[in-house]
Each structure stands twice: as structure tokens, then as C-alpha cells.
């Protein structure tokens, strides 16, 4: 998966299995982990690797740029990524760019959030809600 450095904004390739370890930006050497912002997934391969190999639960937001509620939800997911850094990985899947993933998981409305643990879907939630409600309803409180 590609992780953007919070210091210099360079993209860094990071295997999902290493998301619980220490990693530094290849360009500026700033710490990349824990992930404090959502990761934009750009391929089905990156998605599969992340949900299969991540050492923490993965909250995936299925969204689209034209969707008003999706834009409303974005800052709430930023809060979850920041507040639960190291305990939860937040990822985003653009359903317009990756329609095969949306079809695979039967996404009929957006935004839809799915939590994966150990590669398996464990919870699902539709609609834009505050970060605290999302964390509670998806059992992300650690």
C-alpha cells in the first residue's frame, strides 16, 4: 500500500503486514507510523493485501467524490484515524475508481463503512455519522 508522509507528502510503499512496526519516510526519514490519516487505496490488490495482512482492524470507507454525505463523513474518518492511530487503520475506496470492489462487497449506497478483522468482514455501517457514533457502532473502542 502507498502511505503519504505527513511531513513531506511523499508516497512510500509499505507492506500492510508492517503497519504495526516502525517505518520511516524514504525521502525525509520522518516516522510513517502509526497511521494518523486515512489511506486512499488505488487498487484491488492493495485492498486485498491491507485487509488480509494488517495487524489491526481496518475500517474501509466506500465513497465517491460526487456524494455529499461522503464529503461530510471524511473529516469524521480523519478524527478516527488520528484518535485511534496504531489501533485501527482507516482506508478509503473510491467506488468510481474501483467499481469491482464495490460490487464484490455489495455496496448499494454510499458512504458505506466496513470493518475487517483478520481479513474477514465483521461490521458494516451506512451513512454519515459523527466519529464517536461510528467508533461505538462499529465496535472500534479499544
CA-CA distance, 9 to 30, in Å (whole number)?
11
CA-CA distance, 20 to 55, in Å (whole number)?
6
Which residues are identified as catalytic? 67, 70
CA-CA distance, 59 to 33, in Å (whole number)?
17
2-4 and 120-126 beta bridge pairing: unpaired
Among positive and negative, which fits the CA dihedral 36, 38, 44, 50? positive
CA-CA distance, 27 to 44, in Å (whole number)?
27
- Which among 12, 36, 37, 9 is positioned nearest to 24, based on CA atoms? 12
Amino acid at each position: 500500500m502507498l502511505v503519504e508522509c505527513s511531513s513531506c507528502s511523499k508516497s512510500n510503499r509499505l507492506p500492510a503486514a508492517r503497519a504495526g512496526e516502525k517505518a520511516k519516510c524514504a525521502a525525509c526519514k520522518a516516522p510513517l507510523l502509526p497511521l494518523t490519516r486515512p489511506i486512499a487505496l488505488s487498487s484491488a490488490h492493495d485492498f486485498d493485501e491491507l485487509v488480509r495482512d494488517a495487524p489491526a482492524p481496518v475500517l474501509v470507507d466506500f465513497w465517491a467524490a460526487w456524494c455529499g454525505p461522503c464529503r461530510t463523513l471524511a473529516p469524521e474518518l480523519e478524527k478516527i484515524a488520528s484518535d485511534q492511530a496504531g489501533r485501527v487503520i482507516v482506508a478509503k475506496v473510491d467506488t468510481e475508481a474501483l467499481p469491482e470492489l464495490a460490487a464484490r462487497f455489495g455496496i448499494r449506497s454510499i458512504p458505506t463503512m466496513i470493518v475487517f478483522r483478520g481479513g474477514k468482514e465483521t461490521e458494516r455501517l451506512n451513512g454519515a455519522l459523527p466519529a464517536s457514533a461510528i467508533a461505538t457502532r462499529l465496535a472500534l473502542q479499544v
